[in-house]
């Protein structure tokens, strides 16, 4: 019967509050949240330590999982065996952990969602990389505590040179809070630690130059960067993860899935949605995955549009998932929301403490050994006397006391001397003791310097991490792409003026404007681009790395990317295929740099002389796959697009040397997906080759054979749109056909490029002003077979 003295009356609400708080803290600290230092929860730490104590290194045979689970339960973790086995299984799954901490043998489940075999069938041991987490644990590097029954000691945390919390992530639901941290690439994390060690004031943006974003073991594509930036800056963010899909012979092929998505469940869901006609355009679905990797084949119907099917899969299935990042971990025993920089600092702080404790341990051991060696050397110098003392002593205790009294040995030295074997008295052994004593002296100096000299511990951190990276780092698996309408982190991109060059065969590159120096009229020019055989430059213009570049295709679609997203190159490089940057249909016919979509209009001109004017803001939100820019009549194609700022004149020039000049107000504004009106009437065999929007005093006309001239705009008779126009330059055998017209002033410079990739930069004032119906002067010297293809104003 309970005595009255032990009964304490207390209001139930107060007791519930206190008890629930104790319970919640127990769950938070002891079960659900990882320690920021080694990235482990108690159950995972106990499993790894038990494997270490059992001697199950990576180069030893596997042991039955049931045996290991029993060891963990009996010594360190008095909970359910299923919980321990489940935790152990996850550490052995290459599709769950970016870097597996356990080497498993047997069925440990699959990406299909298959359950692992029972623990009596599977076998485990430590993986090679997990041994890096336990390295130096015997050197007093970490604190220890009693196990649940006080019979054994267990580590509070592991020394872990591996930045496990970042590279493997963690997830758990506590009381009132949860953590969900994604895995990362080891090489990128190591590089970020180097940056922070070099510059403690490094910004999140600078760290993201190293760590691009999460790197999931199953690969996939992270769609958009905003969630990554949010998570790294604040500790919380939401990222969108997509399957990797490519088009192949009338079918979509899936090679990678989002993290933690079951392949078999996904296939069942797709089949169900196809039957319900939620997803259309799929005729067959099969799993062709094998040992070589994942391969889900989605056969398309004959009339299906691949991009539409792909978007339906992203919208209605787990081909697209969201991953909510919550960087909560235990810091000094308390839960804390951490930014990327804080996570890296906590790792550095942990490694500093480990290296300092390890160094102190090694220094203490080295001093103890040196003390013994000094005793040996002193004993060897007086060996005859010592042997005599030992002979005369009745027992070991008397001999020890006599040695201490005679030679002032310490008790440890005396014990070690008495334990010496006779073979140690040889001259060779004497030299060996002297050599070891010198080595210990140097070791003590080295270890003392680590503890006293500033920056030494940081250098050791770098050296050890460099070795870790060399042994275990691998290529990034998860690709990161920009979401529609989302900008990259422009703070990391220098804004500068660049030249954008596009070729007829669809190659593009950007390069610094400084690559081209000004030359005199008639110069041969510099190589502006290494040309592929039968390729020519089709478009060249000046832009900024921060401008949007609108690409207009020959079939009337428009696409948009930022200037810095175009790969940079030098004058001798070919550039990159545009189709590898944007999914463009048709050939690029115009490309415009745009900074502000709120002002101005676009004017479109086709080869058959059709013109259209549309407000620029109609093209502000352009999807990744492009949008319709204008409707084209059969047999026509887009020639070009230019910006209008209001009250300008439009000059439309034809192949055979005619030019039609009219006010831009002659064209009314039309909607985006419209066809336009007639701008210039053409004679048989003629077509529009160039047009200009200008208020400049002069019009520059260039022909394909490198000739050109300036003509006053006043020489051109203003007409209404739809006229045949007037002569702008004589086209004959010497000049060839017209290539381009451009409004210029005396202060301008132009860049003229040829189909062989030559470019020349010329001040406009060096080009002679002539009347309309003349032949012009030589602008650029061309090699045999070369032709001028474009001009641009600098």
Which tens digits make up the pLDDT trace of 596-638? 888 889 999 999 999 999 999 999 888 777 899 999 888 899 9
The answer, yes or no, to whether residue 534 has pLDDT greater than 70, is no
Predicted pLDDT of residue 250? 86
Predicted pLDDT of residue 85? 96
- Domain limit, last residue, from 117, 139, 159: 159
Name the 3-class secondary structure at 69: helix
When mean pLDDT is compared across 120-129, 147-156, 415-424, 621-630, the lowest value belongs to 415-424
pLDDT band at 288 (very low <50, low <70, confident <90, very high): very high
pLDDT band at 488 (very low <50, low <70, confident <90, very high): very low
The average pLDDT across 352-381 equals 93
The answer, yes or no, to whether residue 32 has pLDDT greater than 50, is yes
- Same-domain check for residues 306 and 378: no
The answer, yes or no, to whether residue 43 has pLDDT greater than 70, is yes
In a domain, 465, yes or no: yes
The average pLDDT across 579-600 equals 86
Residues 6+ apart with CB under 8 A from 589: 538, 552, 553, 554, 637, 638, 639, 640, 641
CATH number where 401 lies: 1.10.268.10
Given a contact cutoff of 8 angstroms between Cβ atoms, the answer to whether 285 and 270 are in contact is yes
- Same-domain check for residues 663 and 778: yes
Please give the model's pTM, rounded to 2 decimal places. Answer: 0.61
Predicted pLDDT of residue 540? 79
The average pLDDT across 660-673 equals 89
**Residues in the chain, how many?**
794
The answer, yes or no, to whether residue 183 has pLDDT greater than 90, is yes
Predicted pLDDT of residue 579? 85
The average pLDDT across 9-22 equals 73
- In terms of DSSP H, where are the helices of 80-213? 81-90, 131-134, 164-168, 186-198, 204-208
* Residue among 485, 596, 468, 385 at smallest CA distance from 161: 468
- Same-domain check for residues 611 and 690: yes
Predicted pLDDT of residue 132? 96
- In terms of DSSP H, where are the helices of 120-185? 131-134, 164-168
- Same-domain check for residues 530 and 449: no
In a domain, 45, yes or no: yes
In a domain, 107, yes or no: yes
- Same-domain check for residues 658 and 760: yes
Cα separation, 69 vs 76, in Å, equals 10
When mean pLDDT is compared across 163-172, 260-269, 499-508, 724-733, the lowest value belongs to 499-508
Which tens digits make up the pLDDT trace of 766-775? 988 888 888 8
Which tens digits make up the pLDDT trace of 194-212? 999 999 999 999 999 999 9
In a domain, 273, yes or no: yes
The average pLDDT across 727-739 equals 90
- Same-domain check for residues 609 and 678: yes
Predicted pLDDT of residue 487? 40
DSSP string, 302-329: TT--HHHHHHHHHHHSTTEEEEEEE-EE
- Same-domain check for residues 383 and 447: yes
Q: Identify the burial level of 219 via C-beta atoms within 10 angstroms of its C-beta, where 0-12 means exposed, 13-18 middle and 19 or more buried.
A: buried
Strand-strand pairing, 479-481 and 221-223: parallel
Q: Report which of residues 322 and 22 the model is more confident about.
A: 322
Which tens digits make up the pLDDT trace of 702-714? 999 999 999 998 8
The answer, yes or no, to whether residue 423 has pLDDT greater than 90, is no
Which tens digits make up the pLDDT trace of 505-531? 788 888 877 665 545 555 554 555 555
Strand-strand pairing, 63-64 and 102-105: unpaired
Catalytic residues: 121
**CA 337, chain centre distance (Å):** 23
Cβ atoms within 10 Å of 511's Cβ, excluding its own: 20
Cα separation, 690 vs 790, in Å, equals 10
The average pLDDT across 751-769 equals 86
The answer, yes or no, to whether residue 417 has pLDDT greater than 80, is yes
- Same-domain check for residues 603 and 721: yes
What percentage of the chain exceeds 70 in pLDDT?
Answer: 91
As a 3-state breakdown, the chain gives helix, strand, coil percent values, each rounded to 5, of: 35, 25, 40
CATH number where 699 lies: 2.120.10.90
The answer, yes or no, to whether residue 300 has pLDDT greater than 50, is yes
The average pLDDT across 223-240 equals 94
DSSP string, 590-647: EEEEES-TTS-EEEEEETTSEEEEEEGGGGSS--TT-EE-----TT--EEEEEEE-SS
Given a contact cutoff of 8 angstroms between Cβ atoms, the answer to whether 412 and 372 are in contact is yes
In a domain, 339, yes or no: no
CATH number where 289 lies: 3.30.1360.40
The average pLDDT across 151-178 equals 90
The answer, yes or no, to whether residue 21 has pLDDT greater than 70, is no
Given a contact cutoff of 8 angstroms between Cβ atoms, the answer to whether 703 and 776 are in contact is yes
The average pLDDT across 330-344 equals 93
- DSSP letter for 443, please: H
- Domain limit, last residue, from 138, 159, 180: 159
- Same-domain check for residues 638 and 783: yes
For residue 412 the two structure tokens come to 């440890």
The answer, yes or no, to whether residue 3 has pLDDT greater than 60, is no
Predicted pLDDT of residue 516? 57
The answer, yes or no, to whether residue 724 has pLDDT greater than 60, is yes
pLDDT band at 486 (very low <50, low <70, confident <90, very high): very low
Residues 6+ apart with CB under 8 A from 387: none
pLDDT band at 484 (very low <50, low <70, confident <90, very high): low
What percentage of the chain exceeds 90 in pLDDT?
Answer: 51
For residue 694 the two structure tokens come to 């200008």
| Average pLDDT of the residues of the chain | 88
Geometric angle at alpha carbon 629, from 628 and 632, rounded to 5°: 90
pLDDT band at 277 (very low <50, low <70, confident <90, very high): confident
In a domain, 405, yes or no: yes
pLDDT band at 428 (very low <50, low <70, confident <90, very high): low
Domain count, the chain: 4
Predicted pLDDT of residue 359? 96
Geometric angle at alpha carbon 62, from 60 and 65, rounded to 5°: 145
The answer, yes or no, to whether residue 779 has pLDDT greater than 50, is yes
Instruction: For tokens 């086209």, name the residue.
Output: 731
CATH number where 89 lies: 3.90.199.10
**CA 641, chain centre distance (Å):** 35
- DSSP letter for 28, please: I
The answer, yes or no, to whether residue 545 has pLDDT greater than 90, is no
Predicted pLDDT of residue 492? 47
- Same-domain check for residues 637 and 733: yes
- Domain limit, last residue, from 437, 452, 471: 471
Cα separation, 601 vs 604, in Å, equals 10
In a domain, 558, yes or no: no
- Same-domain check for residues 359 and 448: yes
In a domain, 557, yes or no: no
Predicted pLDDT of residue 26? 58
Predicted pLDDT of residue 252? 94
Cα separation, 460 vs 195, in Å, equals 15
The answer, yes or no, to whether residue 720 has pLDDT greater than 50, is yes
The region that residue 177 occupies, defined by phi over 0 for left and psi between -120 and 50 for alpha, beta otherwise, is: beta
Boundaries of domain holding 442: 354-471
The answer, yes or no, to whether residue 23 has pLDDT greater than 70, is no
- Same-domain check for residues 268 and 128: no
Instruction: For tokens 């994390």, name the residue.
Output: 189
């Amino acid at each position: 019967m309970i005595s009255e003295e032990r009964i304490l009356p207390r209001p139930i609400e107060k007791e519930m509050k206190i008890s629930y708080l104790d319970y919640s803290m127990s769950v938070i600290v002891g079960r659900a949240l990882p320690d920021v230092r080694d990235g482990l929860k108690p159950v995972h730490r106990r499993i790894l330590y038990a494997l270490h104590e059992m001697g199950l290194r990576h180069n030893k045979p596997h042991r039955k999982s049931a045996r290991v689970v029993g060891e963990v339960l009996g010594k360190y973790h008095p909970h359910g065996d299923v919980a321990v086995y489940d935790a152990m299984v996850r550490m052995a799954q290459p599709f769950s952990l970016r870097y597996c901490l356990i080497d498993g043998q047997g069925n440990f489940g699959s990406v299909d969602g298959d359950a692992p075999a029972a623990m009596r069938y599977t076998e485990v041991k430590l993986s090679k990389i997990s041994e890096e987490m336990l390295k130096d644990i015997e050197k007093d590097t970490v604190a220890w505590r009693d196990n649940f029954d006080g019979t054994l000691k267990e580590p509070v945390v592991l020394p872990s040179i591996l930045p496990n919390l970042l590279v493997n992530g963690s997830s758990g639901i506590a009381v009132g809070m949860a953590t969900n941290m994604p895995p990362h690439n080891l090489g990128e994390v190591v590089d970020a630690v180097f940056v922070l060690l070099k510059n403690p004031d490094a910004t999140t943006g600078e760290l993201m130059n190293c760590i691009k974003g999460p790197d999931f073991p199953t690969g996939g594509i992270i769609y958009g960067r905003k969630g990554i930036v949010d998570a790294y800056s604040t500790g919380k963010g939401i990222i969108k993860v997509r399957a990797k899909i490519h088009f192949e012979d009338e079918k979509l092929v899936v090679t990678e899935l989002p993290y933690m998505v079951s392949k078999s469940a996904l296939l069942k869901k797709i089949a169900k949605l196809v039957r319900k006609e939620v997803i259309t355009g799929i005729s067959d679905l099969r799993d062709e995955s094998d040992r070589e990797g994942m391969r889900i084949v989605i056969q398309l119907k004959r009339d299906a549009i691949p991009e539409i099917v792909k978007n339906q899969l992203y919208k209605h299935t787990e081909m697209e998932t969201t991953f909510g990042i919550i960087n909560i971990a235990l810091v000094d025993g308390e839960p804390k929301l951490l930014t990327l920089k804080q996570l890296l600092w906590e790792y550095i702080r942990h490694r500093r403490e480990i290296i300092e404790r390890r160094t102190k341990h090694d220094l203490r051991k080295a001093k103890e050994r040196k003390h013994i060696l000094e005793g040996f050397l002193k004993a060897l110098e007086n060996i005859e006397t010592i042997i005599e003392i030992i002979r005369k002593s009745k027992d070991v205790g008397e001999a020890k006391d006599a040695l201490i009294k005679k030679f002032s040995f310490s008790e440890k030295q005396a014990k070690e001397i008495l334990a010496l074997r006779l073979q140690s008295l040889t001259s060779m052994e004497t030299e060996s003791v002297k050599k070891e004593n010198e080595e210990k002296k140097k070791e003590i100096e080295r270890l003392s310097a680590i503890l006293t000299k500033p920056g030494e511990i940081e250098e050791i951190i770098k050296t050890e991490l460099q070795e870790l990276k060399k042994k275990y780092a691998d290529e990034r698996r998860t690709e990161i792409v920009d979401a529609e309408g989302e900008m990259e982190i422009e703070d990391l991109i220098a804004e500068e003026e660049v030249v954008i060059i596009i070729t007829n065969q669809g190659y593009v590159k950007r390069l610094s404007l400084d690559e081209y120096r000004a030359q005199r009229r008639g110069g041969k020019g510099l190589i502006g681009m290494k040309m592929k055989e039968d390729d020519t430059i089709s478009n060249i213009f000046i832009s900024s790395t921060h401008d949007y570049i609108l690409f207009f295709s020959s079939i009337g679609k428009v696409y948009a990317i930022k200037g810095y997203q175009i790969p940079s190159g030098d004058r001798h490089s070919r550039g990159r295929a545009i189709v590898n940057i944007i999914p463009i249909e048709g050939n690029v016919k115009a490309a415009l740099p745009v900074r502000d979509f709120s002002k101005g209009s676009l004017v479109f001109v086709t080869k058959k002389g059709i013109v259209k004017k549309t407000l620029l803001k109609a093209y502000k939100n352009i999807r990744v796959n492009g949008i319709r820019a204008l409707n084209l009549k059969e047999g026509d194609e887009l020639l070009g697009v230019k910006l209008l700022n209001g009250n300008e004149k439009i000059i439309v020039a034809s192949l055979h040397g005619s030019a039609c000049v009219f006010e831009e107000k002659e064209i009314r504004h039309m909607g985006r997906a419209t066809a336009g009106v007639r701008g210039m009437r053409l004679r048989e065999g003629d077509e529009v080759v160039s047009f200009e929007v200008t208020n400049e005093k002069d019009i520059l006309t260039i022909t394909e054979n490198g000739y050109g001239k300036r003509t006053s705009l006043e020489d051109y008779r203003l007409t209404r749109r739809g006229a045949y126009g007037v002569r702008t330059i004589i086209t004959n055998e010497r000049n060839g056909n017209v290539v381009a017209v451009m409004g210029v002033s005396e202060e301008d410079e132009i860049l003229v490029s040829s189909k062989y990739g030559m470019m020349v930069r010329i001040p406009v004032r060096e080009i002679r002003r002539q009347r309309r119906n003349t032949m012009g002067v030589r602008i650029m010297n061309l090699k045999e077979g070369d032709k001028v293809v474009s001009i641009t104003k600098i």
